[in-house]
Structure 1
Amino acid sequence: MGYEWLALAAAALWAVSSLISVTPSRHLGAFAYSRWRMACVTLMLTAMAAFNGGWSTVSWDFALVMVLSGLIGIFIGDTALFACFNRVGPRRGGLLFSCHAVFSALLGIWLFDESLFGWKLVGALLVFTGVVTAILFGQKSQKHQIEAITGSLGVAVMLGLTAALCQSLGAIIAKPAMQTTLDPVAASAMRMAAAFSAHSVLRLSGAQIAKPRQPINGRILGMVALNGFLAMAVGMTLILFALQHGDVGMVALLSATTPIMILPLLWLYTRHRPPAAAWLGAILAVIGTGLILQF
């Protein structure tokens, strides 16, 4: 399987997990939700790396890089993303987060001399245009609570763009290490453990922002664990595998199709059919992806 398909598979998992995240994130709050989620995923990835022998590929230099990547990309980035989702829902939050494709492409060109030329450039532009079109014009109504806007829209925009930038920086930081023999599962475990440790220190400090809005229960914990397994234990590990073989910018652009994939899922969940413009965006993204895969 080429890295392109790995990135697309991760995008599909993120679409499903973003819907699962809404209820527990609004129940616990962004910080408490992220902390519980990271605890679950750290345990999953640590066990997976032990099972496949991935810890034997880790050196001290790799560990330091992955800790930094986890603090920026997961501790800051993921927490900001779920705070954004809590305010504007997964569809609008997805639009803002998809800007990580632009950040990653520009940073990849600047730092690694990566390139986007010819039909691949056309395809990349179509993918991003399709993402923006689908999110801007898809499901514009707020008839379902999952689509409701709460709080300041300006704050939500800032949180979404912060999440996108941190995701890009986290991937850029991890890129050199992922081009070595470092096991992606072990790398994901280190990133997640670093983010969970930071969240734990914040909670132990007694900071009000880290306290849960409501107590966790068995149902909420199950949703947190399922979301973490799909999005991080599987999805983010696929992205790290993809980074071993592909350009940061191209991996980011393909993984940015998550907002396209979420449209039919929202239709099933809310029973409100997206308008024609949303499907136009999806078609543009499919054509763009085809060009990327062909050339």
Structure 2
Amino acid sequence: MGYEWLALGAALLWAISSLMSIVPSKHLGSFAYSRWRMGCTSIILTLFALFTGGWSTVATSDILPMALSGLIGIFIGDTALFACLNRMGPRQSGLLFSCHAVFSAVLGYFLFSETMTNRELMGSTLVFIGVLSAIFFGRKKSHRLDSVSGHLGAGIALGITAAICQALGGILAKPVMMTDIDPIAASAIRMLTAFIAHSTLRLTGYRMAKATQKMTPTIFAITFVNGFLAMAVGMTLIMYALRDGNVGMVALLSSTTPIMLLPIIWLYTKQCPNRYAWSGAFVAVLGTGILVY
């Protein structure tokens, strides 16, 4: 399977998980929800890497860059994303988060001298325009999930922060993923680092790190499944994709999450997205087709 399909698979899983995250994230708060989700995912990845022998592929020199990737991309980035999700809903937070494709492409060009062919440039442009159109113009006659709660500027700042951190996390992981390290073990290092950072923050007594409500069996089940899909599988797919694809292309294809959200939100809300959203989705799918085939 090519890296393009791996990145698209991750985008689909992130689309499903973003909708699943609405209830537990609001119930626990963005910090507590991220901590629980990362804890569950850390256990899954650690045990799986142990079972498959992936830990034997990790060199001492790999640990620091992967830990930094987890600290920035997951600990800061994911927490900021869920805080943005709580304020702006899945579609508008997805618009801001999709900007990580631009940041990744720029950083990849300057740091790794990554370039695109004319075909890739055309496809990438169509994907990005489609994503922006689908979400920005799709706000018209939108569902209550798109309502803004709290200060709009704070929500925008959180979304941009999440996008920048996602881009930096991918940039830091790229050199390591070009070695023989097992992607599952690499994901486990990132996740463990993020979970340790979250747990340390909670032990300091920081008010925002406390759960706003108690954990329940239902919320835990949703959080566990969400962590497995989005982080154990989704993030690992991204690590596999980074082995063969450049950072910008992987980020661009994984930024199609908002497009994949359209039919999922339609099923969830029973409200069909408007023609602007579908037009943007068509353009993004056309661009994706150019990149994949």
Specify the TM-score bucket, using the shorter chain as the normaliser: over 0.9
What does residue 198 of structure 2 align with? 199
What does residue 262 of structure 1 align with? 261
What does residue 149 of structure 2 align with? 150
TM-score (norm 1): 0.98
Counterpart of 2:84 in structure 1: which amino acid? C
Distance 1:218 1:30, change over 3 A: same
Deviation at 1:52, TM superposition (A): 1.1
Deviation at 1:143, TM superposition (A): 4.2
What does residue 67 of structure 1 align with? 67
C-alpha distance in structure 1 between counterparts of 2:228 and 2:211, whole Å: 21
What does residue 271 of structure 1 align with? 270
C-alpha distance in structure 2 between counterparts of 1:14 and 1:139, whole Å: 20
C-alpha distance in structure 2 between counterparts of 1:153 and 1:221, whole Å: 30
Cα pair 2:127 2:287 within 8 Å, conserved: yes
The answer as to 2:3 corresponding to 1:3 is yes
- Aligned residues with identical type, % of pairs: 61
C-alpha distance in structure 2 between counterparts of 1:65 and 1:279, whole Å: 40
Counterpart of 1:98 in structure 2: which amino acid? S
Counterpart of 1:71 in structure 2: which amino acid? L
Cα pair 2:31 2:209 within 8 Å, conserved: yes
Instruction: Map residues 105-124 of structure 1 onto 2, 5 A cutoff.
Output: 105-124=105-124
What does residue 129 of structure 1 align with? 129
Instruction: Map residues 83-98 of structure 1 onto 2, 5 A cutoff.
Output: 83-98=83-98
Counterpart of 1:286 in structure 2: which amino acid? V
Cα pair 1:138 1:263 within 8 Å, conserved: no
Cα pair 1:46 1:186 within 8 Å, conserved: yes
C-alpha distance in structure 2 between counterparts of 1:59 and 1:118, whole Å: 38
C-alpha distance in structure 1 between counterparts of 2:187 and 2:196, whole Å: 14
Structure 2: give runs of 5+ residues left out of the alignment: none
What does residue 214 of structure 2 align with? 215
C-alpha distance in structure 1 between counterparts of 2:121 and 2:91, whole Å: 26
Counterpart of 2:68 in structure 1: which amino acid? L
C-alpha distance in structure 2 between counterparts of 1:35 and 1:215, whole Å: 14
Cα pair 1:91 1:135 within 8 Å, conserved: yes
C-alpha distance in structure 2 between counterparts of 1:20 and 1:278, whole Å: 21
Counterpart of 2:242 in structure 1: which amino acid? L
Distance 1:71 1:59, change over 3 A: same
C-alpha distance in structure 2 between counterparts of 1:9 and 1:209, whole Å: 33
C-alpha distance in structure 2 between counterparts of 1:213 and 1:72, whole Å: 24
Cα pair 2:141 2:274 within 8 Å, conserved: no
What does residue 280 of structure 1 align with? 279
TM-score (norm 2): 0.98
C-alpha distance in structure 2 between counterparts of 1:2 and 1:117, whole Å: 17
Aligned partner of residue 213 in structure 1, secondary structure: coil
Deviation at 1:83, TM superposition (A): 0.2
What does residue 171 of structure 1 align with? 170
Aligned partner of residue 93 in structure 2, secondary structure: helix
Cα pair 2:142 2:273 within 8 Å, conserved: no
C-alpha distance in structure 2 between counterparts of 1:281 and 1:28, whole Å: 34
